Amino acid sequence: MSGFPVDTVFAALAVRLGERASRSNAIVAAHGASESYHAAHPPDIVAFPQSTEEVAAIVSICAAHGAPIVPWGAGTSLEGNASAVHGGVCIDFAEMNRVLAINAEDLDCRVQPGITRKRLNTELRDTGLFFPIDPGADASIGGMTSTRGSGTMAVRYGTMRDNVMALEVVLADGRIIRTSRRAKKSAAGYDLTRLFVGAEGTLGVVTEITLRLHPVPEAMSAVVCPFGSFEGAVSTAIAVIQAGIPVARIELLDEVMIRGVNAYAKLGIVEAPTLFLEFHGTPAAVAEQAEAVREIAHEHGALGYDSATRTEDRNRLWTARDNTLYAGTGLRPGSKALITDVCVPVSRLAECLVATKRDIEASGLIAPIVGHVGDGNFHTLILVDPGAPDEIARAQALHERMVARALDLDGTSTGEHGIGTGKMAFLERELGEAVDVMRTIKRALDPKGIMNPGKIFK
């Protein structure tokens, strides 16, 4: 049972939004599911605003009646971040998905939260600029902002923390604020932009995002580099980072994941621990970087070093990488993935990855590994039968050991997926009393507790 008057709230929303407020079974069910193994929690109502003013009106109605508010982008989050665990009103940004301004001369743009990263890059096509953050899924910019997402190119271009310049936010009482102006840097007061980036909608609803863009590099080349040993691949990645080579991407896939990718995307590459790399820059810089990495890889037992400079070959490679979630679950039809997301200092990565690999092998579970190893971040996709509680418990135990190991190495339980509901159990262990400060801020900005409740902390 939801703890708010659903009929009253729905009636008020319908007055304002007409058919863009919905209680249809199909629609609420679609907004409770996710791509992960977490249980579904549908909202009571789904609203489809078309403007910031409509979002403010929705929030005001919810505030008046104590209804939970759950923002929704593309539904690709992995930790139940947009799950309506307490019911309430889901705000779906499907109809707020436009590019509002492109300032090519300033390398920035302003967008609505519902636009996906691929659509944004399509709209930027003629500007000579691109938005590099690539979490794999075609996530919405709003969702990526709220989970502080990153992905394959973070090693070169940073995370959403670094690429969000300003936000428009609807607060829990319906007021609308802008967190910053468009200057590239500012020392004017508290960094509210960074406070809302990664807050998972628990402090306010993001309604506009100003993003930093980057010039499309003059030259790009990709490399597939298989290794005779898992350790060789990991050590190569670490040495590349420590040498300061500005790779644009450096992704590790273990032989299990390569098997999945081969089956899913017909990539036809050797089933060995493999690095996928990409280099961006002038033609001379790209050649220089590729050669420097080749030497390091050779020293660590690389079995090959295959370049792809043609756009279609590069795209095929990175599309395969982007689909590792589906490629991974494809290894066990009918399974769902418990996806881990630990991130450790690069100097501890080899230790962390090798111990994890052994732990997976000992567990008897199937759990392919794919990692943004340049940042010390990697995922395992622990494949479970969603109807087998015993297996889920074993997967969770494996996950817990992984997080404990990462924390022992001064790392984090989540490099990029956020806490959501799935990693709440680890937050206090990771940050101790700092979590109290987060709670204090939460209570100050959302005294009624209506903004995406049940996420990050209880």
Residues 191-220 close enough to bind a second copy by CB under 8 A? 191-192, 194-195, 197-199, 203, 214-215
Q: Nearer Cβ to a second copy, position 69 or 320?
A: 69
The answer to whether residue 176 forms part of the interface with a second copy (CB under 8 A) is yes
x/- contact string, 28-67, with a second copy (CB under 8 A)?
----------------------------------------
The answer to whether residue 458 forms part of the interface with a second copy (CB under 8 A) is no
Q: Nearer Cβ to a second copy, position 112 or 377?
A: 377
Q: Which of 221, 414, 421, 452 binds a second copy (CB under 8 A)?
A: 414
Q: Which of 201, 232, 376, 422 binds a second copy (CB under 8 A)?
A: 376
The answer to whether residue 434 forms part of the interface with a second copy (CB under 8 A) is yes
Give the SS3 label for residue 198: coil
Q: Nearer Cβ to a second copy, position 200 or 391?
A: 200
The answer to whether residue 126 forms part of the interface with a second copy (CB under 8 A) is no
Burial class (CB in 10 A: 0-12, 13-18, 19+), 79: buried
Q: Which of 413, 450, 452, 453 binds a second copy (CB under 8 A)?
A: 413
Continuous H helices in 66-153: 117-123, 141-146
End-to-end CA distance of the chain: 18
Which of 150, 123, 120 has its CA nearest to residue 135? 150
Q: Residue 211 forms beta bridges with which residues? A: 109, 164
Rounded alpha-carbon distances, angstroms, from residue 278 to 163, 287, 309, 394:
20, 11, 10, 36
Q: Which of 296, 375, 451, 452 binds a second copy (CB under 8 A)?
A: 375
Which range touches a second copy (CB under 8 A), out of 20-28, 308-316, 380-388, 421-429? 421-429
* Nearest distance from C-beta of residue 201 to a second copy, angstroms: 12
Q: Nearer Cβ to a second copy, position 164 or 261?
A: 164
Residues 76-105 close enough to bind a second copy by CB under 8 A? 103, 105
Residues 140-159 close enough to bind a second copy by CB under 8 A? 147-150, 154, 158-159
Burial class (CB in 10 A: 0-12, 13-18, 19+), 433: exposed
The answer to whether residue 410 forms part of the interface with a second copy (CB under 8 A) is yes
* Nearest distance from C-beta of residue 339 to a second copy, angstroms: 13
The answer to whether residue 73 forms part of the interface with a second copy (CB under 8 A) is no
How is residue 207 written in tokens? 């309604």
* Nearest distance from C-beta of residue 438 to a second copy, angstroms: 5
Return d(Cα 282, Cα 288) in angstroms, integer: 10
User: What does residue 177 show for φ and ψ, rounded to 5 degrees?
Assistant: -125, 160
Give the SS3 label for residue 24: coil
Which range touches a second copy (CB under 8 A), out of 56-64, 111-119, 186-194, 382-390? 186-194
User: What does residue 44 show for φ and ψ, rounded to 5 degrees?
Assistant: -85, -35
Rounded alpha-carbon distances, angstroms, from residue 132 to 151, 208, 214, 369, 441:
9, 19, 7, 23, 31
Residues 217-276 close enough to bind a second copy by CB under 8 A? 238, 242-244
Residues 270-309 close enough to bind a second copy by CB under 8 A? 282, 284-285, 288
* Nearest distance from C-beta of residue 428 to a second copy, angstroms: 10
Bridge-based pairing of strands 219-226 and 214-215 is: unpaired
Q: Nearer Cβ to a second copy, position 231 or 288?
A: 288
Q: Nearer Cβ to a second copy, position 117 or 417?
A: 417
* Nearest distance from C-beta of residue 303 to a second copy, angstroms: 26
Q: Nearer Cβ to a second copy, position 102 or 360?
A: 102
Q: CB neighbours of 183 closer than 8 A, spacing ≥ 6? A: none
Rounded alpha-carbon distances, angstroms, from residue 447 to 66, 171, 201, 244, 372:
11, 11, 14, 46, 38
* Nearest distance from C-beta of residue 364 to a second copy, angstroms: 29
Residues 156-175 close enough to bind a second copy by CB under 8 A? 158-159, 161-162, 171, 175
In which residue are the tokens 């300061």 written? 244
Hey, how many other C-beta atoms are within 10 angstroms of the C-beta on 201?
26
* Nearest distance from C-beta of residue 377 to a second copy, angstroms: 7
Return d(Cα 374, Cα 316) in angstroms, integer: 21
Which range touches a second copy (CB under 8 A), out of 44-52, 225-233, 343-351, 381-389? 343-351
The answer to whether residue 125 forms part of the interface with a second copy (CB under 8 A) is no
**DSSP 8-state class, residue 75:** S
* Nearest distance from C-beta of residue 357 to a second copy, angstroms: 19
Which of 141, 211, 208 has its CA nearest to residue 176? 208
* Nearest distance from C-beta of residue 399 to a second copy, angstroms: 15
Hey, how many other C-beta atoms are within 10 angstroms of the C-beta on 16?
16
The answer to whether residue 415 forms part of the interface with a second copy (CB under 8 A) is yes
